[in-house]
Amino acid sequence: MKTILLIEDNADNAKIAMRALKPHGYRLLHASDGESGLTMAMEEKPDLILLDLGLPDLEGQTLAALIRGSPEIGRVPLVAVTAWPPDTASQMAKAYGCDGYISKPISPRQFPSQIAIYLEEGIDDAVE
């Protein structure tokens, strides 16, 4: 079972994302700020990290840089989740070593297949 860590401070956004992914058999972890997200990432070593770029303590970009600079979790696929305009989101995600970005608000229907790409598996395989 693949583990996904969602680092997202907004409770409503987190709920929508978790609800969309739950039927697909992932082990889902949620951190509501950057510090606990980094701690959870180090302890759990997830298969994918979904990172909100606007966090209340550490900024998302700074956290992305810390994750990428970590020998333990530096190679975990990292996807920015952001409401920034596509050009800025793309540039920022690339600069900070993210594997890609997903625009907010997320589409609960499309979200699982967007995620599956980064887990290197087809959506059909991911659905239990």
Contact footprint for other proteins (CB under 8 A):
9-10, 12, 33, 54-59, 61-62, 64-66, 69, 83-85, 88, 91-92, 95-97
Choice between 26 and 101, CB closer to other proteins: 101
Q: Which residues, other chains included, contact 45 with Cβ-Cβ below 8 Å and sequence gap of 6+? A: 3, 72, 73, 76
Question: Minimum distance from CB of 100 to other proteins (Å)?
Answer: 16
∠ Cα 9 102 46 (to 5°): 65
Question: Minimum distance from CB of 9 to other proteins (Å)?
Answer: 5
Cα gap 100→85, rounded to integer Å: 14
Largest CA distance in the chain: 37
Choice between 16 and 116, CB closer to other proteins: 16
- Cβ atoms of 119 and 48 within 8 Å: the answer is yes
State both tokens at 46.
């997830």
Question: Minimum distance from CB of 97 to other proteins (Å)?
Answer: 7
Question: Minimum distance from CB of 25 to other proteins (Å)?
Answer: 30
Choice between 56 and 122, CB closer to other proteins: 56
Choice between 33 and 99, CB closer to other proteins: 33
Cα gap 96→113, rounded to integer Å: 23
